[in-house]
Amino acid sequence: MMAVVVTEPGGPEKLALQEVPDPQPGPGELLVRVRATALNRADLLQRRGLYPPPPGAPPYLGLEMAGEVLAAGPGVSGWQQGDRVFALLAGGGYAQKVVIPAAMALPMPPNLSFEEAAAIPEAFLTAYRNLFDLGRLRAGETVLIHAGASGVGTAAIQLARRAGARVFVTARTPEKLAGCRQLGAELAFDGREPGLVQRVLEATGGRGVDVILELVGASFWEEDLAMLAPGGRLLLVGLMGGSRASLDLQRVLQGNLQIIGSTLRSQSPALKADLSRRFWADCQEAFQRGELRAVVDSSFPLERVADAHRYMEANKNFGKVVLRVP
């Protein structure tokens, strides 16, 4: 099969489409013909040698995919050759074939294209786990989502609104701010402009927000602590804006605040399978009705993977960047 190989750590020019051995399904696994995959920030880090895949994961980039079942390993039932599936991956999506645990395979709704389905798993499962499992977001609460125009951000806006929460976001351009509002954000702020804390406090009657989904990191750290309501939960998911910041422990203590860091890729297959099942049981009909949707910014053929990486690194995308796999 063909797969995208990182020839050596570095820039997008270090990505090459090469012939590699086909994977084989083991017990409890499915072999899937990949039709589409999607880019994530983790792919950019792995390409640079900063985010190695977990033990046992394929060496190739790609944390999600959509495709067709080719074969089932021993002990697998309920899936037939040709079934359309999509799934979260520990790696290997930038390839024509991938092996996945059958327990993590989700059936594709007929109204979704492969490109749309491939853009769902990483963004929506990350948002779902952080908002509800870890952040315990409830109807009537207020959530602030940084990088609202990202894949995870666009998913989180929709999920939080569906849950009955007030949604505030930050983004960096007028076009992205407008797109976030169209998805359901009540208020959208340019995070680079001064006065973010004051505007958020004014919008909440001085109370602050109950949950912050922090996809940027250190550059918002002091503002985050100042914007959290008593008992607020800060979910640290990304570090695009840096990884080092000072922490006012008194503010955390007196505000009964919780700071929770989470990554999804390193979690156990059992946790990811359970998360996938619960998410899809809750949201499948909403995707079928069009109430939830993967926001696909652009689609590149696999042979243009370097261009796709450059596009994402330039922060041009609103939502997901997808790769079509031949």
Q: How far apart are CA 44 and CA 40, in angstroms?
A: 7
Nearest 5°: phi and psi at 58?
Answer: -60, 150
Helix (H) or strand (E) holding 3: strand 2-6
Same domain for 61 and 187: no
* pLDDT digits 0-9 by tens, 250-273: 888 899 999 999 999 989 999 999
- Assess whether 76 and 99 both reside in one domain: yes
The β-bridge partners of 32 are 69, 98
CA angle centred on 190, ends 189 and 195, rounded to 5°: 75
pLDDT for the residue numbered 64 = 98
18 and 32 both lie in a single domain:
yes
Over the chain, what is the mean pLDDT? 96
Q: What CATH number does residue 82 fall under?
A: 3.90.180.10
For the chain, what is the domain count?
Answer: 2
Q: Quote the domain boundaries for residue 272.
A: 2-120+268-324
257 and 293, same domain (yes or no): no
- Let me know whether 228 and 279 are in one domain: no
Boundary residue ending a domain (261, 291, 311):
261
Residues 202-251 pLDDT 10s: 999 999 999 999 998 878 889 999 999 999 999 999 877 677 777 787 88
Is the same domain home to 100 and 135?
no
Verify that 253 and 145 share a domain, yes or no: yes
In sequence order, the 6+-apart residues with CB closer than 8 A to the CB of 136 are: 211, 233
Tens of pLDDT along 183-204?
Answer: 999 999 998 899 999 999 999 9
Least Cα distance to 238 among 211, 257, 219 occurs for 219
Is residue 115 domain-shared with residue 237, that is, in the same domain?
A: no
**Do 219 and 112 share a structural domain?**
no
Cα 117 to Cα 79: distance, rounded to the nearest angstrom: 18
- State whether 16 and 97 are in the same domain: yes
> What global pTM score does this model have?
0.96
Regarding whether 93 and 207 lie in a shared domain, the answer is no
CATH number at residue 235: 3.40.50.720
Same domain, 128 and 238: yes
Helix (H, G, I), strand (E, B) or coil at 11: coil
CA distances to 100, 243, 291 from 56, rounded to whole Å, are 12, 27, 36
